[in-house]
Amino acid sequence: MEYRTLGKTGLRVSALGFGASSLGGVFRDIDESEAIRAVHISLDLGINFIDVSPFYGLTKAETVLGKALRGLKRDSYILATKLGRYGSTLADFDFSAARALKSIDESLARMGVDYVDLIQAHDIEFGDVNQVVTETMPAMRKLIAAGKARFAGVTGLPLKCLASAALQSDADTILSYCHYELNDTALLGILPQLAARNTGIISASPLGMGLLSVRGAPAWHPAPDLLKAACAKAAAHCSAHGASIEKLAVQFSVAQPQIATTLVGSASPTNMQRNIQWINEPLDRTLLAQVMEILKPVHDVTWPSGRPENN
């Protein structure tokens, strides 16, 4: 496993990180004991960064993760969680200082730990970004002063909004998703200004939330039909050549050295073992070129998220 420095935090994180949304049964019903084994095998094989949120499974992911972490040495993993998002409607977002201070205590109790290494404002495009900068981030800094977290960051989909909030608040990290993958490398566009602040970069969803898979995008996926069709064509091309688009997608995303860690998540020990094996195998450059050509007409095509003014 390769380890990279997460910006100004100085944390050395695994190039592949564990995205614990899967533990909340977000994508399928899970077997809890199997999910716990997925966490353990990931740690055993070198992953040391785990990212979760109270939103995932409406607290279930943090609860299951807490069971997986029980008995493990606290310094054997780097733990990140979030605050601000607690459901799927606009009414479920609360970036107030009071809620931030309460949220961290709830998360720590669910996971059975005394502190998290990274606390993040979750999906900030659904809130008032000015509030995130002037109220949420100062509240998270108070959590750091209180010893409940070590560093603070922001997460979201729209890159302009994400970069603006990170720079204004001098965030330690950003977490971007669906913007560094085979069909979308727009994240690269904001990296120079973040690098100037030594902001740590976390990327998630190298499969585009299912776009880059044989199974294809789920019915709820917000991507436009043109993008879904192109990704399905790319997946079929890989299959026709006896290859896996999932493997190619994970390898491509993790190979970007400017990204400290790329999050993948599965409640299946077998799947996590496979993901880790993939990044240690050579990237098929010929297949990559072919897939990129198929996806060229939809390169960097995305979708809106959150409040209109944040897109």
- Residue 118 CA to residue 150 CA, distance in Å, equals 6
Q: Which residues contact 3 (CB under 8 A, 6 or more apart)?
A: 12, 13, 14, 15, 48
- Residue 58 CA to residue 60 CA, distance in Å, equals 6
Quickly count: other Cβ atoms within 10 Å of residue 202's Cβ: 26
Query: Distances from the Cα of 95 to the Cαs of 8, 99, 154, 206, in angstroms?
Result: 24, 7, 11, 27
Out of 3, 56, 115, 180, pick the active-site residue. 56
- Residue 226 CA to residue 161 CA, distance in Å, equals 25
Query: Distances from the Cα of 272 to the Cαs of 16, 61, 63, in angstroms?
Result: 10, 16, 20
Strand segments, DSSP code E, in the chain are 3-5, 12-14, 16-19, 49-51, 78-83, 116-121, 149-156, 173-177, 200-204, 261-264
Is-catalytic flag, 56?
yes
Per-residue DSSP letter, 203: E
Catalytic residues: 56
